[in-house]
């Protein structure tokens, strides 16, 4: 069987508190609900691609602990291939403390733990599968060096790459742009990377052009309720999205990227703007329910027109 979508990235146990607002420094506030979920940007993207029907594999490292064991079971339950999931006793499974306010906005602290121990040597295991894959996806919740190596390996194998520079770092190695077929980030990541403000579609346009000029094949800048902007050498297009009531936007960007990976793998001739329009629709479903992966839709829940 060929693994069409390979995600090299992070797994986190999400510890989520719902509260009316985000607390200030030094402040304690009452929240009204707590739950534990499966998260981490890499795993989220991989699970969303699998839920749309992609044959997907995750390349990652979790701890040899309860959370790591649970995470591997979660991948199996989600139909994600786990041949390249490793466990280490040198660090704990990654964890994310998340607070979601009544507006559906969030603040997140991640302790990457075992994720940071995924090294370039570990990537060798995926090489035989990589040559048959269609798309490889990376983010920045594992070591940047490992992400960059994975993207380079994909390029050498003729596999399309999606790079999501999240969470963003101000000084990103310039090579990342050159090995990205699609460089996909949100407003705050684009601001940090370019130093340009991104508070309107026009500003996003300028920041996106700045990123595109650094050598990526295309840039997609996600804009929350405003949809996204797709920038390519041929031109750029704003793709609006339907208005929905957001309950929890955590992981909406991951739902978008997982869907994008699915479309790039199975509809390679589809214009990127159309892929982005459909990925917007998938992500819009995710924000209407609490939680991260728990809110990601399956193919059967979505309109047939998306497939
Ligand atoms: O993008 C959302 C994700 O960011 C959460 O699942 C959390 O684990 C953090 O990695
Ligand atoms: Na959600």
User: For the segment 220-273, what is each residue's pLDDT rounded down to a tens digit?
Assistant: 999 999 999 999 999 999 999 999 998 899 999 999 999 999 999 999 999 999
CB of 41 sitting under 6 A from ligand 1: yes
**Rounded CA separation 68/217 (Å):** 35
Q: Give the pLDDT mean for 173-194.
A: 97
Q: Do 146 and 119 form a contact (C-beta atoms < 8 A)?
A: yes
CB of 141 sitting under 6 A from ligand 1: yes
Give, using CA atoms, the residue closest to atom 7 of ligand 1: 40
Q: Calculate how far, in angstroms, residue 123's C-alpha sits from the geometric centre of ligand 2.
A: 31
The answer, yes or no, to whether residue 199 has pLDDT greater than 90, is yes
Of the pLDDT bands very low, low, confident and very high (cuts 50, 70, 90), residue 170 is confident
CB of 99 sitting under 6 A from ligand 1: no
CB of 106 sitting under 6 A from ligand 1: no
Cβ-count burial of 82 within 10 angstroms (0-12 exposed, 13-18 middle, 19+ buried)? middle
**Rounded CA separation 91/8 (Å):** 18
Say which of 65, 122, 181, 254 is annotated catalytic.
254
> Which of 48, 74, 96 is the pocket-test mutation for ligand 1 (most atoms within 8 Å of CB)?
96
Q: What confidence score (pLDDT) does residue 1 get?
A: 76
Of the pLDDT bands very low, low, confident and very high (cuts 50, 70, 90), residue 105 is confident
Mean pLDDT of the chain, nearest integer:
97
DSSP 30-52: --SEEEEEEE-HHHHHHHHHHHT
Q: What confidence score (pLDDT) does residue 90 get?
A: 98
H or E stretch including 275? helix 272-286
8-state DSSP, 22? P
Bond into 267 cis (ω within 30): no
Number of other residues whose CB lies within 10 A of the CB of residue 70: 14
Q: What is the ipTM of this complex?
A: 0.98
Q: Do 47 and 293 form a contact (C-beta atoms < 8 A)?
A: yes
Query: Annotation-wise, does 275 bind a ligand?
Result: no
Number of other residues whose CB lies within 10 A of the CB of residue 85: 20
**Rounded CA separation 29/121 (Å):** 45
> Which has the higher per-residue pLDDT, 170 or 195?
195
Q: Calculate how far, in angstroms, residue 285's C-alpha sits from the geometric centre of ligand 2.
A: 8
**Rounded CA separation 74/62 (Å):** 12
Closest CA to 118 of 164, 151, 85: 85
* Closest ligand to Cα 296: 2
Residue percentage of the chain with pLDDT more than 90: 96
Q: What confidence score (pLDDT) does residue 263 get?
A: 98
Q: What confidence score (pLDDT) does residue 104 get?
A: 85
Q: Give the pLDDT mean for 141-165.
A: 98
Query: Annotation-wise, does 42 bind a ligand?
Result: yes
Closest CA to 39 of 117, 115, 125, 91: 115
What sign results for the dihedral spanned by CA atoms 16, 18, 21, 27?
negative
Q: What confidence score (pLDDT) does residue 103 get?
A: 87
Q: Calculate how far, in angstroms, residue 178's C-alpha sits from the geometric centre of ligand 2.
A: 32
Q: Give the pLDDT mean for 283-291.
A: 95
Q: Give the pLDDT mean for 68-94.
A: 98
Q: Give the pLDDT mean for 167-194.
A: 96
Q: Give the pLDDT mean for 143-160.
A: 98
CB of 110 sitting under 6 A from ligand 1: yes
Residue 37: C-alpha distances to residues 65, 80, 128, 183 (Å) = 16, 17, 32, 27
Q: What confidence score (pLDDT) does residue 57 get?
A: 98
Q: Do 192 and 69 form a contact (C-beta atoms < 8 A)?
A: no
Q: Give the pLDDT mean for 136-155.
A: 98
* Closest ligand to Cα 253: 1
122 catalytic residue (yes or no): no
Of the pLDDT bands very low, low, confident and very high (cuts 50, 70, 90), residue 51 is very high
Q: Counting every residue, how long is the chain?
A: 307
The answer, yes or no, to whether residue 58 has pLDDT greater than 80, is yes
Q: Do 93 and 65 form a contact (C-beta atoms < 8 A)?
A: yes
């Amino acid at each position: 069987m060929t693994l069409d979508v390979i995600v090299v990235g992070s797994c986190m146990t999400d510890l989520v508190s719902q509260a009316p607002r985000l607390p200030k420094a030094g402040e304690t506030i009452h929240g009204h609900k707590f739950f534990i979920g499966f998260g981490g940007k890499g795993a989220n993207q991989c699970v969303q691609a699998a839920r749309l029907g992609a044959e997907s594999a995750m390349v990652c490292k979790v701890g040899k602990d309860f959370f790591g064991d649970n995470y591997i079971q979660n991948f199996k339950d989600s139909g994600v291939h786990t041949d390249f999931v490793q466990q280490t006793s040198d660090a704990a499974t990654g964890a994310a403390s998340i607070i979601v306010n009544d507006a559906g906005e969030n603040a997140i602290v991640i302790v990457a733990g075992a994720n940071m121990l995924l090294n370039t040597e570990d990537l060798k295991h995926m090489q035989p599968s990589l040559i048959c894959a269609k798309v490889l996806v990376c983010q920045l919740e594992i070591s940047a060096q490992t992400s960059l190596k994975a993207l380079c390996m994909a390029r050498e194998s003729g596999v399309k790459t999606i790079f999501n520079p999240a969470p963003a770092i101000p000084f990103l190695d310039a090579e990342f742009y050159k090995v990205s077929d699609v460089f996909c980030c949100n407003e705050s990541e684009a601001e940090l990377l370019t130093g340009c403000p991104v508070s309107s579609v026009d500003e996003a346009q300028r920041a996106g052009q700045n990123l595109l000029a650094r050598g990526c094949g295309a840039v997609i800048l996600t804009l929350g309720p405003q949809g996204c902007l797709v920038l390519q050498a041929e031109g750029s297009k704003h793709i609006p999205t339907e208005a929905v009531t957001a309950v929890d936007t955590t992981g909406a960007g991951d739902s978008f990227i997982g869907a994008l990976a699915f479309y790039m793998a199975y509809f390679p001739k589809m214009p990127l703007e159309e892929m982005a329009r459909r990925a917007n629709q998938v992500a819009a479903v995710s924000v209407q329910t609490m939680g991260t992966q728990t809110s990601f839709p399956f193919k059967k829940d979505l309109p047939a027109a998306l497939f």
